[in-house]
Amino acid sequence: MERLPNNDTSKKRAIFIGCFIALLTTAFGFITRVFLVDTWSVAFDLNPAQAGRLMGIGIWPFFVAIIFFSLLIDRIGYKVAMIFAFIGHMTWGVMGYLAYQNLQSGDIDTAYSLLYWGSLVFALGNGTVEAFINPVVATMYNKEKTKWLNILHAAWPGGLVLAGIIFIGMGNVEWWIKIVITVVPAIMYFLILIRQDFSANERVAAGVSYREMLQEFGIGGAALVSFLVVLQLNDFFGPGPEDYLMRYGFIAIGVLMVVAFGWYVRTLGRPILLFLCFIIMPLATTELGTDSWIQSIMHGIASSKSFDAGWVLIYTSLIMLVLRLFAGPILHKVSPLVLLVISCVLAIFGLYFLSFASGWFIFAAATLYGLGKTFFWPTTIGIVAEQTPKGGALTLNAVSGIGMLTVGMLGAPIIGAFQSNSQVEQLQSSYELAQVAPSELLVDGKVNLPLKDETIYSIIDFQTVNMDELHEALAGIKNSQEVNKLFSDLLTKGTQMALSKVIIFPIIMLVCYLILIFYFRTKGGYMPVELEKS
């Protein structure tokens, strides 16, 4: 395990520990939602894609906070951002408790609204945490950014492991208790960091202007952000097919923002930064999108073997925790990009094997997946910090923000849609189901289920089984228990098989990292860019 350098002052150590606990707090909140998504799906009657959207609202607003504070943080200071994050985490605890109480009293609509909007506030707090911890650590350890960002981000799997073990040990307690536990580490980081004074960002110390920082991001980065934000706003405010005014109003605002930004910066931005912005989208979906669903996906398989599916996420997170803490020696042996290529290969095989693994073989497959995803996020962010130091907090955090926006807005719902489609495919292709299903569900000897066409953002199309019509067709048949059991088993298998479709994301990443390796070879090899103080 890496130790803080001997010449660090106690103040510097305290800041790093406070940042570490702040990130751990975000992991507590994340795994709370992962463990409770099935409970909420039953309580609020949500299909997989709708549950994915509820998960998404707890992720994508992260982007709003991280971009907003990245633009202002050098002016308002890191401490103000930390206080805002603390308020967000405390508010989530209160709203989660109130949501549970309203659900118990039968007010389902109010309960869901509290849960939904509380999730949004929680995500804003998380984004603010990333907005200050990344530039703080990158500035303190500006000679070894990738190494120390990896160690900092060990707090994420550390929080998943710690909270996961606590939650499994708690058993079936009221779910509001699991939400409120998040406030404990929040209070800890607040008490540590509120007393600290933070150094100026590396960009500011080097005399790089605010405009130069924005130029690193450029028109290309602004256009990508605008596209994602407009897509999210149109869905968030729920315009119908005929509501052209709101839909095109958001598009117009997005275009105007890009034009205004472009007029000010007069550049497309650093090509390598734009490329890394693209990579972070499948990366975030591979890691966080899959993690947000893994408890639900593996639940049926794990239950049949009498273990909690949450142990899969805890196990992979434990692998991440250990390896990130030892990131220094690993990065001394291989370059960041070679490490990321190896990680992609491991993640591809891990996800593929998880799509059909059963019993304890699940943990063998999860080992590959855990090894693969360990270095994705912090190493990519480290590359951004090392290659675009003039971008300061903005470029460092914008890439993280784009990743979180993508997984919350597209990644989690896409994986939910993968599940729904895989369930339908398993049911319709099942020979066993065709042999026992009632005649109403058969066409030419094959299962013909009552289906509903669904869509998200008008671009993600999928099908779900119309459960009301299905139950009506199954009612009263002699072998209904046998059919229902087979039906349930096929749904479980279909849910798990969705992971085989997720491998498209690490495949895309693999190609991109190979391109970067060849690019840097033409430049004489990968070398960090350093700024000198003015």
- Secondary structure string (H, E, C) spanning 491-503: HHHHHHHCHHHHC
Q: In the predicted model, what is the mean pLDDT of residues 389-415?
A: 83
* DSSP characters over 33-71: HHHHHHHHHHHHT--HHHHHHHHHHTTTHHHHHHHHHHH
Confidence of residue 421 (pLDDT cuts 50, 70, 90): confident
Q: Residue 515 above 60 pLDDT?
A: yes
User: For position 238, what pLDDT does the model report?
Assistant: 60
198 in any annotated domain: yes
Amino acid identity, position 198? F
Gap between the Cα atoms of 25 and 11, Å rounded: 21
pLDDT of amino acid 516: 96
Element (H, E) at 423: helix 412-428
Per DSSP (E only), the strands in 256-334 are none
Is 427 among the domain residues? no
**% of the chain beyond a pLDDT of 90:** 33
The yes-or-no verdict on residue 260 having pLDDT over 90 is yes
**pLDDT of residue 436 exceeding 70:** no
Task: Report if residue 493 sits inside a domain.
Answer: no
Q: What is the pLDDT of residue 418?
A: 82
Query: Over 60: is that where the pLDDT of 94 sits?
Result: yes
Q: pTM for the complete prediction?
A: 0.80
Rg (CA), the chain: 24
The encoded tokens of residue 403 equal 């990743």
Q: Do the domain assignments include residue 88?
A: yes
In this structure, the strands spanning 460-465 and 451-456 are antiparallel
Q: Does 507 fall in a domain?
A: yes
* Helix pair 290-304, 361-373: axis angle to 10 deg: 170
Dist CA 96 CA 178 (whole Å):
9
Residue 475 lies inside a defined structural domain of this protein = no
- Compute the distance between CA of residue 318 and CA of residue 161 in angstroms, rounded to an integer: 6
CA distances from 18 to 14, 76, 391, 481 (A): 6, 19, 24, 55
CB of 416 closer than 8 Å to CB of 426: no
Provide the domain count of the chain: 1
pLDDT band at 120 (very low <50, low <70, confident <90, very high): very high
Sequence-ordered list of residues with C-beta below 8 angstroms from that of 522, at least 6 positions apart, any chain:
none
Q: What is the DSSP string of 259-281?
A: HHHHHHH-S---HHHHHHHHHHH
More reliable by pLDDT, 378 or 200: 378
Q: What is the C-alpha separation between 461 and 457, in angstroms, rounded?
A: 9
What is the residue-averaged pLDDT of the chain? 83
Whether the per-residue pLDDT at 273 is higher than 90: the answer is yes
Mean pLDDT of 341-348: 96
Instruction: Look at residue 287 and tell me if it is in a domain.
Output: yes
- Cα angle 445, 447, 453 (rounded to 5 degrees) comes to 140
| Contact in structure between 423 and 465 (CB atoms under 8 Å) | yes
CATH of the domain at 507: 1.20.1250.20
Confidence of residue 191 (pLDDT cuts 50, 70, 90): very high
| CA pair distance 142, 136, nearest whole angstrom | 10
Percentage, residues of the chain above pLDDT 70: 84
Q: Is the pLDDT of residue 477 over 70?
A: no
Q: What is the pLDDT of residue 110?
A: 92
Mean pLDDT to the nearest integer, 488-511: 86
Of 47-51, 64-68, 72-76, 530-534, the range with the lowest mean pLDDT is 530-534
Write down how long the chain is. Answer: 534
Strands 446-447 and 451-456: unpaired
Find the domain containing 326 and state its range: 10-420+499-522
Q: Is residue 3 part of a domain?
A: no
- 454 is written with which tokens? 């669904």
Task: Write the DSSP assignment of 178-239 as a string of letters.
Answer: HHHTTHHHHHHHHHHHTT--PPPPHHHHTT--HHHHHHHHHHHHHHHHHHHHHHHHHHHT--
Predicted pLDDT at 427: 75
| Residue whose pair of structure tokens reads 């109003």 in the numeric block | 249
Helices 310-325 and 290-304: crossing angle, nearest 10°? 130
